Amino acid sequence: MALTLNPGTLIVASAYPDPPFDLMENGSAGGFDIELMDAISAQLGMRLQPVSYSGDDFNGIFDGLAKRTCDAVISGTTITPERSAIVLFSQPYPEFNQGIAVNRHLTPNASSVADLRGLTAGIQSGNTSDLVARRLLAEGVIADIKYYPYHGIGSALDDLEAGRIGLVVKLFPVISWLVKDRPRLAVAMQVPTREKLGIAFAKDNEALCGAVDRALKTLHGNGEFARLQTRWFPPPTGS
C-alpha cells in the first residue's frame, strides 16, 4: 500500500488547543508537534498537511486513522495499552508527568495530593489525566470529577478561577502553558506518571510508521529534535 492517502502529502490530525504541542497562531497551526511533523515530512520528501480534530472526547481522534481521513495523529499523545490495541505508535519521544493546577487564592498552600482533599477535579474527556483523577477519587482524596469536552479546557480553567471546581489535571507542559496568563492559577504539583508520547498510525500502516521512526532517528542524530525540544520545552529557570 502507499505510505500516505495522497502521494507526497502527510495528513496529520491534532486536537487544539494543546499548547505547547499544538496551537493556533493567527489562523496557522504551530507548536512542537507541528514543527516536528514538518521536519519529519521534509525527511520523507513530503508536504505536511495539518488537520484539526474537534470531537468532544480525545480518543475519537483515532477514528480518522481507521476511516482514512488522516495518515497520522500527533497531539501530545500518550501511548497506552488501550490505544495500542487499535493503532500503531512510533517509537516514544518525550516523556512527561501529569500536572495539577489549583486556584492559589482558594488553596494557597497546596503542595501534595493530600492537600486536595474534598475538592472536585476538572478533566477533559478522553485524556489520560482521568486515570489520575479516578485514582484520587477511589482513594478518597478528591470528592468528585467534572468532565469537560476536549475543546472545553478554557471552561474548566474558568471554573477553577471562579472556585466552581478545585483543581484541573492535565499533562504537565500543557497545563503549565495554559495557566501562565491566569495569575490566580498555578501548577501546584506533578504526579509522576512518566507518560511516553508517540505518533499514531493506522494499524495496517507499518510502512509509514517505520518510515517515520527512521526520520525521527535522523532528527535525533542531527540535533534537530533537541533544538525543537529546547524551543518548546525549555528547562526551568535556574536548572
Chain segment 100-141, per-residue pLDDT in tens: 999 999 999 999 999 999 999 999 999 999 999 999 999 999
- Mean pLDDT rounded to a whole number for the chain: 95
Of 79, 61, 78, which Cα lies nearest the Cα of 15?
A: 61
Residue 28: the pLDDT is 85
Low-confidence residues in the chain, pLDDT < 50: 238-239
Residue 237: the pLDDT is 53
Maximum Cα interatomic distance, the chain, rounded to a whole number of Å: 57
Which burial class, exposed, middle or buried, applies to 197 when counting CB atoms under 10 A from its CB (0-12, 13-18, 19+)? buried
Residue 239: the pLDDT is 41
Answering whether pTM is above 0.85, one says yes
Q: What are phi and psi of 30, to 5 degrees?
A: -150, -175
Cα–Cα distance, 171 to 99 (Å, whole number): 6
